[in-house]
Structure 1
């Protein structure tokens, strides 16, 4: 196998394909970026999954607008990411808090080795991280459902991604970021994705105020089947979300995928157990779905750092804590009907805390070269 490609400052775009074979630099490492492209494709399924989940939880008259919003939010974020989002988060000349505009308008984002991994072309890395941003914005706008209008939500999503997601992603995953250099442990986005989106959705709901409809009519999902289908797509997409965050096709990514399924499963069991006790022997499909999502949220920052049994504990504990916050809206006197803060804000904080508590010394170190084809030490956030 040839040596890993190196970034050439004289050719930041990776070379002119009319005069050189730009694929040759990745000879022997193709499966790494092919695997990441596959992960990106399945992460995309989370976007309609969230739309179906929100549509099922809302009232019937709001379901279609939430499905529509899931698609157009992805479109707006794609434009934002190409315009300046990617550069603000992942430019090589970024400061400790935010990137510059070195890659404004996708400048030089072509086939050079990416900032995240020397064996991943930058265009592939950019696509994968774009979908992270799109999923996060989609989660946030759930805080405005049945109150915020679609056009203002799209404008909000564009600027939220710019002033919140991109800086936090830069802190966490850019090698120049201040959290990256502590180093912090956040394998796939407990902070940038879940904590940021959960607290932002809470603020969004607080500013918009409560709906005027009676509370009893607001809390009943109009279509449990849509909730179930959305959860299935989210669960499936999360294999790419966590598994791909290793940024290689090595064994750590396989381990992260196993931990993802484990935490979702124990999360569903934990929430169902709470529901069974609370409702005196009755089960809830919606509760099982929310528990699975809570487990996925909890394991996101820990997926590549913990053993499989600790992943089970993280999913179980996160789901129980989120389920016990069932009356959170009443405590805070807000109307946040999609439970974004409960699942993502509280679940993300639980997952981040448990990552620090349970991360193993083996999980925090790169795998030996005899066990993985990944040629360079992984950045701490991607090990």
Structure 2
């Protein structure tokens, strides 16, 4: 039986425990939910464009798979583990298992929207986070075990961090941590998980040699993915105000400004080395700026957003060199952009958060950061960042190694799959028709070559050296 729904004289929904839910705010949060949803395939296109074309489709597929798996996980117990009102300081319980008692009850985020609206909005954050992380598996993983990994990782990593950050019972929330839209739960947790995944999987075949060219196969996809992400980020940050008010507007303004400055700064840093105006560099910087402004977007003014963009575009750009320094293969620089960018954003929030900006919604009261002479805020932000980094890295590593000792759940694919591509080996489908045509023509060419030598047996296997030459030619034509 559906619960009774009543309205006050102005037409707003009446809350069960008194007060009203503003229908304009509900509409804004639901619209923001749709904006954040479009970011998830945006991540897929962004990642896909950066990969070689024989692995292009699998990354777009993974973005949609993640939405489906996390949607079920969130319904099953994810929302309850993160936001149950009787949670402890670290994680919730199963009071809201299968979304029991999640409808017209007051939400954990705002008294102006009901729990069911808050639930579906937070689902989008839960879905995009593992998608950011599993970009680290690109070009060298089995797709089946990722279904299990996403479900388990969301349960054991994302849900606890979301609980301690945003649930009023969480330790960071109680301590006074400021994270408006997901610096730690989304970006630090996913970026650090990507590092753990990269270390576990090891390097791609031939990585670090001159034999194989690892260049973006489709820069248009990179730009398209960036457009989806930038567009959706207005809902990601602006929607986190959970109300259509001045604070949401300010969050949208600083989001756009930080992305713009971050893109320009990263591109200029790349120009100094290559003397080329890199579209990939601009897009990478824009994403870094968006990541950095995420925890601060509801707390800082427009001048601070310029500094956020500059620092993100600079620090994250240089952080991409960490993989060469420490010799790990972070395929898509996820740790540099998201984990490092999230830490930059968290720390700058401790410096530039303002009580006046946060209070623009008429509800929120905070002591501010260093600008408001609240000097301990930087220490709180540092503690929150360090906790997210360490917890995500350790727990992700544990999950990966437990799965490793269950043979059918091992993530790393075999060498043959790497040679022919994950799309062909794991999906039997391709992003482009000519990838399949080339796969058919190569054995036929080998057949003709061997036939002239007197042998009539076709060669249906591709040696590593032959594949390398074939791939080098394909990449050269794409470039």
Q: Deviations over 1:243-286 (max 9, x none)?
A: 0111111110110010000000000011011011121x211000
Extract unaligned runs of 5+ from structure 1.
1-15
Residue number among 228, 250, 262 corresponding to 2:223 in the alignment: 228
Within a 5 Å distance, the mapping from 1:155-304 to structure 2 comes to 155-215=148-208, 217=212, 219-279=214-274, 281-304=275-298
Q: Deviations over 1:301-323 (max 9, x none)?
A: 11111110111110111111111
Which residue of 2 is the match for residue 71 of structure 1? 64
Check whether the contact 2:52–2:214 (CA below 8 A) recurs between aligned residues.
no
- Deviation of 1:37 after TM superposition, in Å, equals 0.4
Aligned equivalent of 2:125: 132
| Aligned equivalent of 1:114 | 107
Residue 122 (structure 1) shift = 1.1
Q: Structure 1, residues 216-249: CA drift from partner, whole Å, max 9, x if none? A: 5453100000000000000001000000111111
1:94 and 2:87 are equivalent in the alignment: yes
- Find the counterpart in structure 2 of residue 12 from structure 1: none
Change (3 A) 1:337 1:310: same
Tell me the alpha carbon deviations over residues 71-106 of structure 1, each in whole angstroms, 9 at most, x when there is no partner.
Answer: 011100001100000000000000000001000111
Q: After TM superposition, which residue ranges in structure 1, 4 or more long, deviate above 6 angstroms?
A: 378-381
Unaligned segments of structure 2, at least 5 residues = 369-479
Backbone CA RMSD of aligned residues? 1.8
Structure 2 Cα separation of the partners of residues 379 and 190 of structure 1? 18
Q: C-alpha displacement at 1:338, in angstroms?
A: 1.0
Q: In structure 1, how many angstroms separate the alpha carbons of the residues matched to 2:130 and 2:308? A: 25
**Equivalence for 2:44:** 51
SS of the residue 1:274 aligns to: helix
Name which of structure 1's ranges 106-115 and 72-81 shifts more when overlaid on structure 2.
106-115
Aligned with 1:253: secondary structure?
helix
Paired position in structure 1 for 2:78: 85
| 2:21–2:114 contact (8 Å) kept in structure 1 | no
Contact persistence 1:218–1:337 (CA under 8 A): no
Count, aligned residues: 358
In the aligned structure 1, how far is the partner of 2:193 from the partner of 2:365? 31
* Greater fraction of residues in helix: 2
2: CA distance, partners of 1:155 / 1:338:
22
Hey, what does 2:301 align to over in structure 1?
Answer: 307
Give the 3 Å change call, closer, same or farther, for CA 181–218 of structure 1 in structure 2.
farther
Question: Structure 2-normalised TM-score?
Answer: 0.72
User: Contact 1:185–1:380 (CA<8 Å) still a contact in 2?
Assistant: no
d(CA) in 2 for partners of 1:181, 1:107: 26
CA distance in 1, matches of 2:310, 2:214: 24
What secondary structure, in the 3-state scheme, does the structure 2 residue paired with 1:186 have?
A: coil
Q: TM-score, normalised by structure 1?
A: 0.90
Q: What secondary structure is seen at the aligned counterpart in 2 of 1:101?
A: coil
Judge conservation of contact 2:355–2:367 (CA < 8 Å) in 1: no
Asked if residue 24 in structure 1 is aligned to residue 17 in structure 2, the reply is: no
Q: Does 1:333 align with 2:332?
A: no
* Residues 1:356 and 2:350 aligned together: yes
Would you say the 8 A contact 1:116–1:379 is kept in 2? no
135 and 256 in structure 1: CA distance in 2 versus 1, 3 angstrom threshold: same
Structure 2 equivalent of residue 7 of structure 1: none
